[in-house]
Structure 1
Amino acid sequence: MSSRDRATASPLFVPHKSDRRSARAAKEQFATARDQARGAARPDDRRRTTTLDPDLQPTYPAGGRPGPASARGGRLKLPAHRMTTAVASGAYPFLAEGGLGSQGIYVGQDVHAEAAFCYDPFALYGRLEGFTNPNILLAGVIGMGKSALAKSLALRAVAFGYRIYVPCDPKGEWTVVAQELGGQTISIGPGLPGRINPLDAPAKPYGADEREWANEVRKRRLLLLGSLAKTVLRRELHPMEHTALDIALDQVVAYHSAVGTTPLLGDVAYVLNSPDRLNAATGEPSGRLGRAAEDLAHALRRLIHGDLSGMFDAPSTVAFDPTAPMLSIDLSRLGGAGDDTGLVLAMTCASAWMEAALSDPRGGRRWVIYDEAWRVMRHSALLERMQSQWKLSRGLGIANMMVIHRLSDLLTAGDAGSRGRALAEGLLTDCSTRIIYRQEADQLASAAAVLGLTGVETQAVSALTKGRGLWKVAGRSFITQHLLHPRERELFDTDLRMAA
């Protein structure tokens, strides 16, 4: 053997009497062990996300949606194709929404995009296509965080210089929020010292003509008196009843202007209950106008001598501060016995009283929140006032928010084709932002029909968890998880009495 020749030897172990099946099993075990060893040697490059909020759970696992609808068949192989991003978004639409931008109030996290979600109706107006008004509809079943979202938006809006008005707080939940912000709360109800005169003349806006403003004040007072009468009578007023209201108000205002005082509801009711004075004002000897005003006089008497006496029949004992960051009117003492008439009357008077600040062009931009709005959907007189405020939202610089439980609450305003139903549907139409929290299974069909939800959106609404809602902003949809600060959780806790 020469020096160039080399020989190597290794022991070869051949199992005695090894069959083919055992050899195949040993080979498979070896391959499995080799793959496990290779996987253990690789670094773990999976994305780890840590969050302090337990509500932020991923919608789908990191590998995507499981099941046959995951669109990962593994059998479709197409050749490579180059295209622009505009074409690619249509060919492959399974992309997360880009969001509304970073300008505005921080709400929480966009679930699909896993990015911060901000919202500001005043910032979006004129910048987002299809966003025609700043009004908001918020609907959701009890216990899903609907009220917490409304209060959180109000609390955070103050940091942006906005003022908050809550003309109706039927459960008294906004009082603690107003106190925390250094705002003002007015409690109205039987036995409480607060008094509001709904016929108070609002301050004249800067630059307004004296005569034109006097006519505007007269129109507002007539609208208020008509709304009160229609709520109590539960019907529309007749033409002669409108005439009686005009004459009674003019006589009362003329008298109080001469003596330098403010007219009261009791003065108007006294003139309506004086047929001779009404007939003398029109020159009709038949006495028809006096007889036509009898129902009106009895309707207003409820606010003076009935179950609502002592709240709106005297001069105001509280002063409206338009510079306060927040104003809420606590009506929790009313409507507890199942009759919402007293609550609606009080809300009508309070809304008219707050219009003084809303009509001031120097008042800045404001949020007006109607909590538990489902309780007033059956009263067309109040719906008319809300519709006027919805229509004038852009000119007044206000963002109206209507909070209800179910979308079917809008259908309780009246029968199909009635004026009440038309007013309720008009409020929904004038809301460019619709926030829907979880709805019950029997309400999904009506919600989808009223809002025009797609099949995917309807399925998403039925599976929403607490604090998570479907935001439809000018036709764009987002699934957003609302995040609360620990201090906000303490302020907005409505389940305190349910705890042990």
Structure 2
Amino acid sequence: MNRAAAPAPSPSRGRLRPAGSLRIPAHRASSATLAGAYPFLAGSPCTTGALVGVDAMTGGPFCFDPWALYAAGELTNPNAVLAGVIGQGKSALAKSLAVRAIASGRRVYVPGDPKGEWSPVAETVDGVVVRLGPGLPTRLNPLDAHGAARDMAHGPRLRLLAALAELTLRRELRPAEREGLEAAITSVEIRPDPTLSDAVEALAPGTADDGRDLYFALRRLVRGDLAGMFDGPSTQVLDHAAPMTVLDLSGLGSDDDALAVATACASSWLEHAIATGTAKRWVIYDEAWRLMRSVPLVRRMQAQWKLSRAYGIANLLVLHRLSDLDAVGRAGSEARALAEGLLADCSTRIVYRQESDQLDLTRTALGLSTAERDVLTALPRGTGLWKMPRRTHVVHHHLSAAELALFDTDAAMRGTP
């Protein structure tokens, strides 16, 4: 039996076209609601502060100033964290944020520069570079109160010495040791400008052994490998009018323990000066993954984070990846909680490209949505996700030719002279 031939398919019908119409009920929502499902749909422009680059979603300019955004209610605090794998341009972003903020009357402090990369930047903007290291002539007295009253200086001095002792002992102080430390500080504060050497001398062990470990731990800064940097009166006076001050610690090499001790001392010297100033300041912790291995130093940094609004400062924490937190302590430990507290106190989270195995940890640590997390593996060099409490942007960071030459940290790898 013959069958009629099937009609030829119409040219207007593609083979993948469904036979019937796809009927989906219409849905209407505000742009604010839709932004929860895909946060880049309805982002309002961010035009407050220094120009950073171009918003990838709108093509418009993207600007940033943490103090102005805080005053406008956009941020809950002025602190920021910047994370990204090596070679994606996060150091260039940190330096351009600092340099461009100077044009608005801001000041910049870098309390620890382990590679010496910030020194040429400071010199270019007529800033101050303080170089610390064995054999160098500069000394900073971490007990220097910069003219503050004795009762105001006592607490910070005690906290600093406790942190230094815990760093070198690699454990928390015992109650008897804390009492001995406070007695030593109290005894030397009768002098107008007590030094670390004075405090160590006051701790010299006698018949009791309660302070013996404490004494030998702190003596390292006076007679050990860190001698000559923090054991006498300061040879450097902080210039509040300087647009940028960098404490260059590249002379310490790759010794992370020495770097942590030196950063604690240098940041203490800087904190006393910050408390007496009035200008808005960026305080930038570059290569922070090295510092976050030290619990006492993280504890000191957290205290500074909490005082950021009172001091008028914005802290910037620069990391490679969020798994750097694993070096601080296991999940659920006090040390890990301290480090995560630093991130929680950063109202602005800037994330450059992350490897795929880092995505879930990054999402959890920084409070990203699924859509925001999925963007991270596709970000090109120089482009970052900017997460703020009420807005999210993908931003192409733009550098001038002069900035590129000054901020470039990959010249040696590319063979660029």
What TM-score, normalized to structure 2? Answer: 0.89
SS of aligned partner of 1:291: coil
In the TM superposition, 1:107-118 aligns within 5 A as: 107-118=52-63
Do structure 1's residue 426 and structure 2's residue 341 form an aligned pair? yes
Which residue of structure 2 lines up, in the alignment, with residue 194 of structure 1? 138
* TM-superposed deviation, 1:105: 1.2
* TM-superposed deviation, 1:92: 11
* TM-superposed deviation, 1:451: 2.1
Which residue of structure 1 lines up, in the alignment, with residue 196 of structure 2? 265
Do structure 1's residue 124 and structure 2's residue 69 form an aligned pair? yes
Q: 1:319 to 1:101 in 2, by over 3 A?
A: same
8 Å CA contact 2:289–2:324 kept in 1: the answer is yes
Which residue of structure 2 lines up, in the alignment, with residue 174 of structure 1? 118
Correspondence for 1:402 among 314, 317, 321 = 317
Moved more, 438-447 or 136-145: 438-447
- Structure 2's unaligned 5+ residue stretches are 1-10
SS of aligned partner of 2:315: strand
User: Bigger radius of gyration, 1 or 2?
Assistant: 1
Provide the rounded CA distance (Å) in 2 between the counterparts of 1:307 and 1:374. 23
Provide the rounded CA distance (Å) in 2 between the counterparts of 1:87 and 1:270. 63
Q: 1:274 to 1:465 in 2, by over 3 A?
A: same
Correspondence for 2:49 among 83, 98, 104 = 104
SS of aligned partner of 1:125: helix
Deviations 1:345-402 (A, max 9, x none): 1000000100122112x52211100001110112111111111111111111110000
8 Å CA contact 2:285–2:316 kept in 1: the answer is yes
Do structure 1's residue 470 and structure 2's residue 406 form an aligned pair? no
Provide the rounded CA distance (Å) in 2 between the counterparts of 1:369 and 1:182. 18
8 Å CA contact 1:141–1:439 kept in 2: the answer is yes
Which residue of structure 2 lines up, in the alignment, with residue 145 of structure 1? 89
Provide the rounded CA distance (Å) in 1 between the counterparts of 2:201 and 2:37. 72
Provide the rounded CA distance (Å) in 1 between the counterparts of 2:55 and 2:195. 52
Provide the rounded CA distance (Å) in 2 between the counterparts of 1:169 and 1:481. 26
Do structure 1's residue 349 and structure 2's residue 293 form an aligned pair? no
Deviations 1:284-333 (A, max 9, x none): xxx5xx31100111011111111111111122111111111110000012
Q: CA RMSD in A?
A: 2.6
Which residue of structure 1 lines up, in the alignment, with residue 154 of structure 2? 218
Deviations 1:111-165 (A, max 9, x none): 0111111111111114245x21010000000000000000000000001110000
Do structure 1's residue 308 and structure 2's residue 308 form an aligned pair? no
Provide the rounded CA distance (Å) in 1 between the counterparts of 2:133 and 2:197. 18
Correspondence for 2:105 among 154, 158, 161 = 161
Q: 1:271 to 1:454 in 2, by over 3 A?
A: same
8 Å CA contact 1:378–1:413 kept in 2: the answer is yes
Provide the rounded CA distance (Å) in 2 between the counterparts of 1:214 and 1:382. 24
Aligned length: 399
* TM-superposed deviation, 1:458: 1.9
Provide the rounded CA distance (Å) in 1 between the counterparts of 2:375 and 2:157. 46
* TM-superposed deviation, 1:409: 1.1
8 Å CA contact 1:411–1:424 kept in 2: the answer is no
What TM-score, normalized to structure 1? Answer: 0.75
Provide the rounded CA distance (Å) in 2 between the counterparts of 1:310 and 1:92. 57
Higher relative contact order (CA 8 A, sep 6+): 2
SS of aligned partner of 1:333: helix
- Structure 1's unaligned 5+ residue stretches are 1-27, 29-67, 69-73, 205-212, 276-286
* TM-superposed deviation, 1:455: 2.6
